Chains A and B, each alone.
Chain A
């Protein structure tokens, strides 16, 4: 119940092993530190303790220490994180915690990197264009309409999404042509802004910001400390609308609910999609690996863990074009990202009941 106030809150948890990258643009290496860690601390607290003790000149950015400013981004055990939001209790007591600077940006010193790339890209992204005929104070917008953009305005510019994005993470050569997830959602935010006067946000994103480089691996969404659905709510709708119709949440929602081909086609959607869907019903909705026989051997196999009789859903055919080929570019395709060669309704990992697999141990007689 916790009725008794604890007499030793935050009791010293003893020394823990840290490895921190020290160095500058000329090079550096991981250095080992034994540092005291108390209960309830986060990685940034430990870095502060190191600064106050063994490493007074250890460079590290931070500000609010409450997950609101996005300054203390670094890679902790290889994962891009805010160090003020990474609790020590998430690590094993014997685990060595390795802290390195963001990999995508050039190191300045220790854990501080040169993130000016992001500020350059911010400057290249066209700003909000106020409506010409609406005076200050006369802006009228509905809450539902501003909420879409508000999600993206939660961004604290920690640049973890930029750091993790594989288009630039190890590809310096892509940087000039690619703005990165942070600025795709900036473009999306302005595109969805009810009163923004520019109408070419998505075309601009495609033509000038390198939106097409993104192949939706969703790493950016995964690391976002604000839990912004960067890919699902920002990038994908931008991509869809780039090749498709003007943004309409109902049409978009429809495309999520209906299978392709069943979507009421409004305007310019590509013609080859309907050709692909017809494939699936031809085979019947279901098929059986064993052809439906009920012989003794099948029964035996079933008891060994392989049920050759059960019926598994047949996947749809891959979405090929009129020439029977997978489309090569997303630009001409009716959906975002490359199509799955297994058909779009199959997700991996497959559910166990769709698998035919006998574990070797089950071949041996039981009991």
Chain B
């Protein structure tokens, strides 16, 4: 293998991932004077961050002056059902405004208030208008601004050193397949250029993971192809740990068909405006799924439900408007009992409920989106919808202040969706964009100072590089194995059907068995063609990451016997205060995922006293409440 050509680079900090978190980390490392490499799986500026529409949450108080970091902190903890790492939520709430204002000095142009400040909009779960936004393309603005800031730093370097890439370089369309260690310290990263298939080795004492999420392991997802859990898997293999992997954010109604719009979310207001859910027999099935506790508020017949839209005071609500998880559970069981659509969803029908003109008036962007992308006319035909994977709350377990990964590895940092803890069991809309900025900056800065304080550079072992080359080339050299596309479909089917939005013990056990089978098959995957821009080969290499991350999710989902935020167990429907005190931590033991329980850090007194006792009583155990009471007593 030694004759294989490998390009070598030396950097102080290598940032894997070029979305919001990665770019912000790289900026910080470069500002700290470090030679920095940015590894981007796609072209520079094409990251999944562009998909974020709502905005970036930051308590600037521009629209409502009563907003401040304490209120934002409280909202974040509530959203995550108190499972958040409180310190991360605190840092995030405190630092988000500075991070947004900083973007303006990079050239960002947010929408404005009348007095010329950054405008802020309301969003679910946020007490005050808080999301800085640019129409519905805030993510694009964020990525473009950071991209252009990096270019401006390169222009500075060009003036100073005569070379744009003297201190910061973007390696576009490059995938990292392995982190290389020297003992317990990070020594570098190994990967390949997608364009040429040539290998590349980065020798660096500090690596920042900013690779985003895991959505590609699911059949229906709003995520792009890059979301294969690379960072999660790299961290595991390097000896770091993952937490909260059972928590994934699903939306109950994403499009499942046609393929051109698969995964795109259908706003809940479609149901609020009269849309109804029907199964393949044409039956409006939601009436069969009203839980007893909701009987008083929700209608049990179509006539009453239909009257509600006009006269909500004297009628009970239609069952289509039940909480998200109830709707998801109903859709889930209809599909599993064989009354779903061919694509595995149900029908959401607004066409037969409202005149076309009215639909276009009330849902203009929905109408145009589906018309333009799929030629689906929602005024004429029902939509086909089902649960859609959107965001993973779980990720690399990190030190809240520095973003340094826990576990046995040193020199590894993580920020953004790939890190875990910040959002607890459920993320509030708008918190992801500010998360990227706050923790991207922190991870980049701390990676830089870690590199500074090292006495000697860790060395990359030749044997490790040779092993990495061999692993990478293996799918091309086999011609007997299965196609990576088939394996991906099978993996997506297992995760979508058995570890999806609603989980049951039996199905999770089944999923783990099937994942074990898939592991055997993935180990023998073969890719046709050569090394040059070969998507089949790329997918074959991504599969093993997707697989190990899926195992973490399935194992953690089986272990957590309660329902909380992005984890719903049909056999354990309630929230259990005892489980709130526990994070499930995944580590790799050889190549087996090992799961341990770890107590959640306790909130500092001044933070916990921001909440009412009545609210805390919903989440805390009696023991914790007694401590809280003692604390309150002391203060008095």
Contacts and interface: CB of A to CB of B under 8 A. Distances in A.
B477 interface: no
Contacts of A140: 115-117
A193 interface: yes
A286 interface: no
Interface in B38-58: 42-48, 50-51
Given A2-B351, A69-B42, A109-B533, 9 more contacts: A39-B258, A40-B260, A56-B536, A58-B535, A85-B372, A127-B149, A136-B104, A137-B60, A193-B109
A149 interface: yes
Interface stretch (A60-68, A233-241, A258-266, A270-278): A60-68
A157 B260 contact: no
Contacts of B105: 130, 136, 139
B99 to A, nearest CB: 10
B250 interface: no
Contacts of B151: 122-123, 127
Nearest to B154: A123
22 contacts: A2-B349, A2-B382, A5-B280, A5-B382, A9-B384, A40-B258, A56-B484, A56-B535, A58-B535, A62-B225, A64-B48, A66-B264, A69-B50, A110-B533, A112-B195, A114-B195, A126-B155, A139-B105, A140-B117, A141-B109, A143-B119, A153-B144
Interface in B360-384: 372-376, 380-382, 384
Interface of A: 1-10, 24, 38-42, 44-45, 48, 51-52, 56-71, 84-85, 87, 89, 108-110, 112, 114-115, 119, 122-123, 126-128, 130, 136-137, 139-143, 146, 149-150, 153-157, 190, 193, 196
The SS class assigned to the B binding surface is loop
A26 to B, nearest CB: 11
- A-B CB proximity, top 9 nearest: A40-B258, A57-B529, A128-B107, A127-B152, A140-B116, A56-B536, A59-B533, A3-B352, A2-B351
B545 to A, nearest CB: 18
B164 interface: yes
Nearest to A60: B535
Nearest to B195: A108
The SS class assigned to the A binding surface is loop
A63 B112 contact: no
A112 B173 CA distance: 11
A256 to B, nearest CB: 25
B486 to A, nearest CB: 8
Given A2-B380, A51-B535, A56-B483, A63 B155 contact: no
A39 B377 CA distance: 13
Contact of B532 (A1, A10, A42, A109): A109
Interface of B: 42-48, 50-51, 60, 97-98, 101-102, 104-107, 109-112, 115-117, 119, 134-135, 137, 140-141, 144, 148-149, 151-152, 154-155, 158, 164, 172, 195, 224-226, 257-261, 263-264, 278, 280, 282, 341-343, 347, 349, 351-352, 372-376, 380-382, 384, 483-486, 489, 527-530, 532-537
Contact of B374 (A40, A64, A110): A40
A38 to B, nearest CB: 7
B106 A69 contact: no
